[in-house]
A and B are shown apart, each in its own frame.
Chain A
Amino acid sequence: NAGVMQNPRHLVRRRGQEARLRCSPMKGHSHVYWYRQLPEEGLKFMVYLQKENIIDESGMPKERFSAEFPKEGPSILRIQQVVRGDSAAYFCASSPPGGITDTQYFGPGTRLTVL
């Protein structure tokens, strides 16, 4: 059973470009979470999605950031018009549909560098 897959592992963008980060959850998992890790900091929750639904986006910046988890295909975290402050590691986690008592399994992350 493959783990959580994220691609690309490394992404370089220039200021003003768009960044698309993909996350494929573990087989059987219908819940996806996105976290951001800034240098020297812990992970900060961004958004929690189920298939075709955003459940909690309280950690998402109000502008330029969006996330989706379509019926088919991976979850996408999209950052428009990137700025240097968006440089970070973005981690995706997935869990089965059991709520908070289910462990979140993390992917290897996408390291975004904005030049």
Chain B
Amino acid sequence: AQSVTQPDIHITVSEGASLELRCNYSYGATPYLFWYVQSPGQGLQLLLKYFSGDTLVQGIKGFEAEFKRSQSSFNLRKPSVHWSDAAEYFCAVGQPNTGNQFYFGTGTSLTVIP
């Protein structure tokens, strides 16, 4: 069965420090991969997505993610975190041949300290 794992439930970083949020998936073929961000009380906003091609994907707000097939990972990175990045981050997987259903990880909560 397909699954998405975000191993880190909560991460705290200092403002200006670099960030990496982990995402691993379980799926036989190359899935479609997404990162969403959710601010408190808000809906989800798409940060970036990967379908094919270059495995390093650039997104909004200075985020990027790298697809590594050998590790079944799609980790999200940002070189310098801003206080406004504090939010919940969700990795999601879509499967090309099973309709439009997305599978979400349980999320990583990011706290940014001054």
Contacts and interface: CB of A to CB of B under 8 A. Distances in A.
A15 B59 CA distance: 43
Contacts, number: 66
Interface residues of A, number: 29
Given A103-B46, A107-B43, 13 more contacts: A33-B101, A35-B104, A40-B106, A41-B106, A43-B102, A48-B100, A58-B101, A91-B43, A91-B44, A93-B44, A100-B99, A103-B34, A106-B44
Given A4-B43, A100-B32, A101-B51, A95 B100 contact: yes
A40 B106 CA distance: 8
A77 to B, nearest CB: 15
B90 interface: yes
Interface of B: 4, 6, 32, 34, 36, 41-46, 49, 51, 90, 92, 94-96, 99-107
A108 interface: yes
Interface in A6-39: 6, 31, 33, 35
Interface of A: 4, 6, 31, 33, 35, 40-45, 48, 55-56, 58-59, 91, 93, 95, 99-101, 103-109
